[in-house]
């Protein structure tokens, strides 16, 4: 039942006391029931409104009607009640404001103990990692990095590298040719480069000797994919040209590079070979770092070196003077300069270094496989 002001039956202090207590109890009760700002406004108006507010009624019903001798006392009482009402109303306002702040804070609450959202970041692909590592070995020796186009002309891919016109490497067996090139002269016809060697010529056209460069990049061949072949793979090419480069420089440089890349215990061995753009040409082998060169692992034959104790890593040789003929206008006079070159498969050295036995794993992009190298 809502509180209403009634007339006092008399003006004695006891009656006044009882009435005041009743009023204060109602004030407190109504104040505690306030939940929000509209509640508070209604509360304030009910008590303070000039017209017919509870306090106005108290004024009218208690004070105005009081006989002269009681006026002073009643007036004091009524003033106390007014003050109490004002204080309660003010306190109620502060309380709902505090409540609003609190609920805003609760809404904004941040649980700093929740685990964060992890965003996996990419990592180098194992082939790129192996390639970068090998390039790093040569950079440490003072080589700089060059790159060239993957779509190449017959001239850079073959002719300027001393491939005779009917060399079998030009055959469609190995080379992926760009279609509809027949109307162009042979040397301008486009193909997907089969090796990174054309960048040797492109660089010598741009930069005068001496040069020391490494050339990482993708190459393409018409090979069906299997455990050791892929129509796209990666090579790292090297070239050093100066006035007095010897086969000893070639051997010393590559021996150091193999030890730096595979570990200082590997030995190197050179075996005669043939490439049109080097003379003499060689294959470089490293002693098998899996079996230590014995060809066996316990009672089993060693697979990576096919029981030979040696693993073939790259082709190399002294730059053929016929190659310098194509760039002699830029300071590469065949009688004055000499150089060595080499080329290796980045995918192959990644397979060997990481002990992977199927090249296709590198290109299937299964994150469960690739993340092992991250």
Could you list the residues that contact ligand DAH (CB under 6 A)? 195, 197, 237, 275, 278, 315-317, 341-343
Of the two residues 86 and 249, which places its CB atom closer to ligand DAH in the complex?
A: 249
| In the complex, minimum distance from the CB of residue 301 to ligand DAH, in angstroms, rounded to a whole number | 27
Of the two residues 148 and 343, which places its CB atom closer to ligand DAH in the complex?
A: 343
Of the two residues 27 and 319, which places its CB atom closer to ligand DAH in the complex?
A: 319
Helix (H) or strand (E) holding 140: helix 126-140
The angle subtended at Cα 136 by Cα 133 and Cα 140, nearest 5°, is: 150
3-state secondary structure of 74: helix
Of the two residues 302 and 346, which places its CB atom closer to ligand DAH in the complex?
A: 346
Q: Which residues of 81-105 are buried (b: 16+ CB within 10 A; e: fewer)?
A: beeebeebbeebbeeeeeeeeeeee
Of the two residues 266 and 341, which places its CB atom closer to ligand DAH in the complex?
A: 341
| In the complex, minimum distance from the CB of residue 152 to ligand DAH, in angstroms, rounded to a whole number | 12
Of the two residues 174 and 357, which places its CB atom closer to ligand DAH in the complex?
A: 174
| In the complex, minimum distance from the CB of residue 374 to ligand DAH, in angstroms, rounded to a whole number | 29
| In the complex, minimum distance from the CB of residue 234 to ligand DAH, in angstroms, rounded to a whole number | 11
In angstroms, rounded to a whole number, what is the distance separating the alpha carbons of residues 8 and 370?
Answer: 92
What are the strands of the beta sheet with 278-287, ordered from one edge? Answer: 144-145, 211-220, 232-242, 338-345, 310-319, 278-287, 268-275
Pairing of strands 310-319, 278-287: antiparallel
| In the complex, minimum distance from the CB of residue 316 to ligand DAH, in angstroms, rounded to a whole number | 5
Determine whether 191 is exposed, middle or buried from the number of CB atoms within 10 Å of its CB (0-12, 13-18, 19+).
Answer: buried
In angstroms, rounded to a whole number, what is the distance separating the alpha carbons of residues 74 and 12?
Answer: 9
| In the complex, minimum distance from the CB of residue 195 to ligand DAH, in angstroms, rounded to a whole number | 3
In angstroms, rounded to a whole number, what is the distance separating the alpha carbons of residues 232 and 151?
Answer: 13
Phi and psi based region of residue 195 (left: phi greater than 0; alpha: psi -120 to 50; beta: remaining): beta
Of the two residues 130 and 341, which places its CB atom closer to ligand DAH in the complex?
A: 341
Instruction: Name the DSSP letter for residue 64.
Output: I
In angstroms, rounded to a whole number, what is the distance separating the alpha carbons of residues 371 and 260?
Answer: 25
| In the complex, minimum distance from the CB of residue 219 to ligand DAH, in angstroms, rounded to a whole number | 7
**Residue with the CB atom nearest ligand DAH in the bound state:** 343
**The tokens of 6 are what?**
């009634």
Using an 8 Å Cβ cutoff, are 315 and 196 in contact? Answer: no
| In the complex, minimum distance from the CB of residue 278 to ligand DAH, in angstroms, rounded to a whole number | 4
Of the two residues 98 and 274, which places its CB atom closer to ligand DAH in the complex?
A: 274
């Amino acid at each position: 039942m809502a509180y209403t002001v009634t007339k006092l039956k008399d003006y004695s202090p006891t009656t006044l006391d009882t009435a005041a207590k009743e009023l204060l109890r109602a004030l407190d009760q109504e104040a505690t029931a306030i939940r929000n700002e509209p509640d508070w406004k209604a509360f304030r108006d009910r008590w303070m409104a000039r017209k017919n507010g509870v306090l106005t009624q108290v004024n009218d019903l208690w004070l105005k009607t009081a006989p002269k001798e009681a006026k002073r006392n009643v007036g004091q009482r009524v003033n106390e009640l007014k003050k109490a009402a004002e204080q309660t109303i003010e306190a109620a306002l502060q309380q709902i404001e505090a409540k609003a702040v609190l609920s805003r804070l609760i809404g904004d609450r941040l649980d700093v103990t929740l685990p964060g959202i992890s965003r996996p970041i990419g990592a180098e692909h194992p082939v790129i990692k192996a390639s970068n590592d090998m390039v790093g070995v040569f950079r440490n020796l003072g080589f700089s990095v060059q790159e060239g186009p993957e779509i190449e002309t017959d001239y850079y891919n073959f002719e300027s590298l001393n491939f005779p016109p009917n060399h079998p490497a030009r055959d469609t067996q190995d080379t992926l040719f760009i279609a509809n090139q027949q109307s162009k002269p042979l040397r301008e016809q486009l193909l997907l480069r089969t090796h990174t060697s054309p960048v040797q010529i492109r660089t010598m056209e741009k930069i005068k000797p001496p040069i020391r460069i490494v050339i990482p990049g993708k190459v393409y061949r018409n090979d069906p994919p299997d455990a050791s072949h892929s129509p796209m793979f990666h090579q790292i090419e090297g070239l050093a040209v100066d006035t007095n480069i010897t086969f000893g420089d070639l051997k010393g440089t590559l021996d150091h590079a193999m030890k730096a890349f595979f570990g200082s215990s590997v030995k190197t061995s050179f075996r005669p070979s043939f490439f049109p753009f080097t003379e003499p040409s060689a294959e470089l082998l490293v002693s098998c770092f899996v079996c230590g060169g014995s060809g066996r692992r316990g009672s089993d034959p060693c697979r990576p070196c096919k029981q030979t104790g040696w693993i073939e890593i790259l082709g190399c040789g002294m730059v053929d003077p016929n190659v310098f003929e194509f760039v002699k206008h830029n300071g590469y006079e065949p009688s004055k300069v000499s150089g060595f070159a080499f080329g290796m498969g980045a995918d192959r050295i990644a397979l060997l270094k990481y002990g992977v036995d199927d090249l296709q794993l590198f290109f299937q992009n299964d994150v469960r496989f690739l993340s092992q190298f991250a």
